[in-house]
């Protein structure tokens, strides 16, 4: 995750992380863009080698992802995964409709076609978007919950597939499964699906039941569902849209070329909001994007580089002579001395499960900062939420959330990385909010009933406007007030080299393996290899002191481990925490 470069955030320390690419934050050039014809041709022409680990089906925290150009996301993969999901549903007794959504990545359309050929070949009742458009992840999650609550008439529990690699570059595709609880599938499900899919690949797909696309599209088992109408119509159940409308909050929403583009326009029209879709373009090459920190096109709405255009548009008085002239060619760019065009500007990634919040007075908010604000505001302004409901956070999110929760008199539910851990609480009302440091979160309706059990970027973006409407304070100003009350943390993530063997050791550590009793001059208060909130293994280590902490987790794709760290004693103390954290981890994995 890229983070905002603010005085309270240390980003990408030069001694451990490569510096940002020279052109980061500037508009993409033709040579930066993917060849769409080659990408789509490779999807059908290239066939994975079942013996190559890099070409097998592998589910991470958000499904299977890869690129057709690397033979890691191709027609064979999708056929095998879909057949595996069909068989998993049968084993679990899931007989209701399967809801399918897709985002705007170039490989999402072909992948949906492949999946429909297999689903119809198996006679699975499947619902796709009735308007033939794109579907954000939260809209699929919300629809699953609505159907399973009885608003529709399914013959059994509904579940879903979302075809998206989230914020990944245009070269990539993604495919994820959401079971009847509406949220991300847990590892029991994804491990079963991946193992069966790889068996099918190794068997040459001979056990995959499939019919031609033309027949699939005409099949009686294929139905339509208006995801957009359901989502937009229900928003007043979870947000005070009337307050936003009456306060006249001016919102600039940037879908960043993703699946939320038509949703924002309909939200504005249906609910009478002063909301402008600042960029309605859908381009599978994402040629309008500014390059991310590493020089790649990536739709990361938490990155100041990927969000450079929107940030500059919202920055009153900024000169265009800052090396970003190719960003500031928009006629709506804020001229020096002019006021910002919006009170709140927002961004979403390609499937709209992440949020980015930009304010005129604070720029792009650090995701940890906004989560802290959202939690403090929501728990004070949702009187019908259960008084015993905890605050949900992942163990690598800011300890500012811990202090906010304590100030609210609420318990903290600290879980491993992965939104799936928040699903039970959101469904049962024991955890009315869940958020991740990577700018993903969701919360329940006014009455405590579940809204979505997957991350909802549109929801968190609209919440920023509600916060400003109700409090008269921008989210960035709100965070400054929290800092005055609880202190100012410095937070960063760095990577350190590790062999596969060392990563495996780190994943299996016990607290007793750590012999250090101090960290950066403070006594260690906890050594954790299991999450305090649910006792689940964190796949790494977290060490805490009164004013600081670090967490170390092995990367799933690279020969590195990630060190997340934070200090309430300033950036210099944070650097000391990082250095000692690496020494502590290296000592126990070497």
11 within some domain: no
Query: Of 89-98, 152-161, 476-485, which gets the smallest average pLDDT?
Result: 152-161
The residue among 230, 256, 276 that closes a domain is 230
8 A C-beta contact, residue 56 and residue 201: yes
122 within some domain: yes
8 A C-beta contact, residue 104 and residue 163: no
User: pLDDT above 70 covers what percent of the chain?
Assistant: 92
Query: Of 333-342, 349-358, 406-415, which gets the smallest average pLDDT?
Result: 333-342
Helix (H, G, I), strand (E, B) or coil at 394: strand
Token look-up 């297999």 returns 118
Query: Of 38-42, 337-341, 470-474, which gets the smallest average pLDDT?
Result: 337-341
Q: Which two tokens stand for residue 82?
A: 């879909």
Spatial distance between the Cα atoms of 363 and 441, rounded to a whole number of angstroms: 20
Spatial distance between the Cα atoms of 146 and 231, rounded to a whole number of angstroms: 10
Q: Supply the CATH number for residue 193's domain.
A: 3.40.120.10
**Which residues 6+ apart lie within 8 Å of 412 measured at CB?**
390, 391, 393, 401, 402, 405, 406, 532, 533
**Per-residue confidence (pLDDT) for residue 318, from 0 to 100:** 54
The residue among 230, 262, 287 that closes a domain is 230
525 within some domain: yes
State the burial class of residue 19 (Cβ atoms within 10 Å of its Cβ: 0-12, 13-18, 19+): exposed
Residues 233-262, mean pLDDT to the nearest whole number: 98
Angle between helices 367-381 and 475-486 (to 10 degrees): 90
Task: Write a three-state SS string for 87-102.
Answer: HHHHHHCCCCCEEEEE
- What is the residue-averaged pLDDT of the chain? 91
Report phi then psi at 495, rounded to 5.
-115, 145
Residues 529-550, mean pLDDT to the nearest whole number: 94
Q: Supply the CATH number for residue 524's domain.
A: 3.30.310.50
Domain count, the chain: 2
8 A C-beta contact, residue 269 and residue 232: no
**Per-residue confidence (pLDDT) for residue 155, from 0 to 100:** 56
> Residue 132 pLDDT > 70, yes or no?
yes
The residue among 230, 258, 288 that closes a domain is 230
State the burial class of residue 499 (Cβ atoms within 10 Å of its Cβ: 0-12, 13-18, 19+): exposed
434 within some domain: no
pLDDT digits (tens, 9 = 90+) for 504-537: 999 998 999 999 999 999 999 999 999 999 999 9
**Which residues 6+ apart lie within 8 Å of 320 measured at CB?**
328, 333
Domain residues for the domain of 548 are 490-589
pLDDT digits (tens, 9 = 90+) for 188-201: 999 999 999 999 99
Which one of the listed residues 166, 302, 303, 397 is annotated catalytic? 166
> For the CA atoms of the chain, what is the radius of gyration?
23
**Per-residue confidence (pLDDT) for residue 62, from 0 to 100:** 73
428 within some domain: no
123 within some domain: yes
198 within some domain: yes
Q: Which comes out higher in pLDDT, residue 439 or 15?
A: 439
8 A C-beta contact, residue 68 and residue 173: yes
97 within some domain: yes
Residues 111-138, mean pLDDT to the nearest whole number: 98
For residue 68, indicate whether it is catalytic: no
Token look-up 């004013």 returns 547
């Amino acid at each position: 995750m890229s983070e905002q470069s603010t005085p309270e955030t240390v980003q990408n320390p030069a001694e451990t992380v490569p510096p940002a690419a020279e052109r980061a934050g500037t508009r993409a050039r033709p040579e930066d863009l993917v060849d769409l014809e080659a990408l789509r041709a490779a999807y059908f022409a290239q066939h994975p080698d079942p013996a190559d680990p890099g070409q097998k089906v592998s589910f991470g925290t958000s499904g299977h992802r890869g690129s057709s150009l690397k033979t890691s996301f191709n027609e064979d993969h999708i056929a095998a995964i879909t057949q595996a999901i069909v068989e998993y549903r049968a084993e679990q007794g899931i007989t209701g409709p399967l809801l399918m959504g897709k985002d705007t990545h170039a490989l999402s359309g072909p992948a949906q076609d492949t999946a429909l050929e297999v689903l119809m070949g198996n006679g699975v009742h499947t619902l796709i978007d009735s308007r033939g458009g794109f579907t954000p992840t939260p809209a699929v999650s919300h629809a699953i919950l609505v159907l399973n609550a009885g608003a529709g008439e399914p013959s059994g529990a509904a579940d879903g597939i979302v075809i998206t690699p989230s914020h990944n570059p245009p070269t990539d595709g993604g495919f994820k499964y959401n079971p009847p609880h509406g949220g991300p599938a847990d590892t029991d499900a994804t491990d079963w699906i991946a193992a069966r899919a790889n068996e099918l690949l190794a068997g040459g797909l001979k056990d995959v039941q499939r019919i031609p696309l033309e027949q699939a599209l005409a099949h009686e088992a294929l139905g339509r569902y208006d995801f957009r109408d359901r989502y937009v119509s229900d928003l007043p159940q979870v947000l005070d849209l009337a307050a936003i409308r009456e306060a006249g909050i001016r919102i600039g929403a940037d879908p960043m070329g993703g699946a939320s583009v038509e949703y924002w326009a309909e939200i504005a029209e249906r609910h009478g909001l002063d909301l402008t879709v600042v960029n309605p373009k859908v381009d599978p090459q994402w040629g309008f994007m500014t390059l991310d920190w590493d020089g790649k096109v990536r739709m990361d709405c938490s990155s100041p580089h990927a969000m450079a255009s929107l940030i500059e548009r919202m920055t009153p008085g900024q000169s265009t002579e800052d090396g970003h002239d190719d960003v500031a060619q928009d006629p709506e760019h804020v001229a020096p001395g002019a006021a910002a065009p919006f009170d709140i500007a927002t961004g979403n990634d390609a499937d709209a499960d992440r949020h980015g919040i930009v304010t005129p007075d604070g720029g792009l908010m650090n995701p940890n900062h906004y989560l802290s604000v959202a939690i403090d505001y929501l728990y004070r302004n949702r009187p019908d939420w259960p008084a015993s409901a905890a605050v949900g956070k992942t163990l690598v999110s800011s300890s500012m959330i811990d202090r906010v929760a304590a100030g609210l008199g609420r318990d903290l539910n600290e879980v491993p990385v992965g939104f799936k851990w928040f699903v039970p609480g959101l469904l049962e009302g024991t955890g009315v909010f869940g958020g991740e440091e990577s700018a993903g979160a969701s919360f329940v309706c006014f009455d405590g009933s579940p809204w979505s059990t997957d991350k909802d970027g549109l929801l968190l973006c609209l919440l920023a406007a509600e916060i400003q409407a109700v409090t008269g304070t921008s989210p960035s100003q709100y965070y400054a007030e929290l800092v005055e009350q609880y202190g100012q943390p410095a937070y960063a993530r760095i990577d350190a080299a590790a062999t596969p063997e060392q990563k495996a050791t780190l994943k299996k550590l016990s607290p007793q393996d750590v012999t250090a009793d101090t960290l950066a001059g403070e006594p260690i208060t906890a050594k954790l290899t299991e999450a305090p909130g649910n006792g689940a293994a964190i796949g790494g280590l977290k060490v805490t002191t009164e004013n600081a902490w670090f967490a170390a987790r092995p990367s799933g794709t690279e020969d590195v481990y990630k060190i997340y760290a934070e200090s309430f004693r300033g950036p210099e103390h944070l650097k000391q925490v990082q250095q000692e954290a690496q020494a502590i981890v290296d000592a126990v994995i070497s």
